[in-house]
Chain A
Amino acid sequence: AQTVTQSQPEMSVQEAETVTLSCTYDTSESDYYLFWYKQPPSRQMILVIRQEAYKQQNATENRFSVNFQKAAKSFSLKISDSQLGDAAMYFCAYRSGNNDMRFGAGTRLTVKP
């Protein structure tokens, strides 16, 4: 079974600084997707970024970028120029093909003004 591990229950970053959230996963599949979701206090799940496993290039979305290391099964999220609105729970997720999505335990990010 696929598992997703987020080893950082909580992280803190100063406003305008950069923070990296860690995620590792375990799978025997070669074709899959990885995601980072943000869940603010409203609890609405918001897609931050997505990475297709077959793509070697790391995905980027404005201030958000990932470091995808397929051999190491690592998928970290870097948030640059952190803003107060970035404070939320962040979940790493894995999906193989059209199967269901599996989530990590989450990392609570605090942004200090």
Chain B
Amino acid sequence: GAVVSQHPSWVICKSGTSVKIECRSLDFQATTMFWYRQFPKQSLMLMATSNEGSKATYEQGVEKDKFLINHASLTLSTLTVTSAHPEDSSFYICSARDGGTGVAEQYFGPGTRLTVT
């Protein structure tokens, strides 16, 4: 099956610094990628949708200047949390859609745990 990787799987950073999370589709071209945020014991909340070569579309309430998303190629999207604060600590999950299939299957990465101290 299709594989989506995320790097790093766990990152700890100091308050005020920025951290970048990478999401890669390993064996398919991802025309669309999604970034979700999941707090403990809660569901996945969509943060933004990005299409290759276009600006990301952010969900209401998500600060686009704080969560920078770049989808520069059909296999790579990055999420940069700028000036991170402890309240940004969460589990971030990316998902990639395979534009080559009729149903446009969507595959999930293993997630990245961000801890801001």
Q: How many residues on the B side are at the interface (Cβ–Cβ under 8 A)?
A: 18
Q: Digitize A9-32: 1 where CB-to-B-CB distance is under 8 Å, 0 elsewhere.
A: 000000000000000000000000
Most buried by B among A37, A91, A98, A102: A98
Give the A-B pair count, Cβ closer than 8 A.
Answer: 37
Q: Which residues of A contact B106 (CB under 8 A)?
A: 95, 101
Q: Which residues of B contact A102 (CB under 8 A)?
A: 46
Within 8 A of B (CB), among A63-105: 91, 95, 98, 100-105
Closest to A93 in B: B44
Q: Which residues of A contact B34 (CB under 8 A)?
A: 100-101
Cβ–Cβ contact A42 & B104, under 8 A: no
Segment of B18-26, B63-71, B81-89, B91-99 in the binding face: B91-99
Q: Which residues of A contact B104 (CB under 8 A)?
A: 98
Q: How many residues on the A side are at the interface (Cβ–Cβ under 8 A)?
A: 17
Q: Which residues of B contact A103 (CB under 8 A)?
A: 43-44
List the interface of chain B (C-beta within 8 A of A).
32, 34, 38, 42-44, 46, 49, 91, 93, 95, 97, 103-104, 106, 108, 110-111
The contact sample of 14 A-B pairs, CB cut-off 8 A, is A33-B103, A37-B108, A43-B91, A43-B110, A44-B108, A44-B110, A44-B111, A45-B95, A91-B44, A95-B106, A98-B104, A100-B49, A104-B43, A106-B42
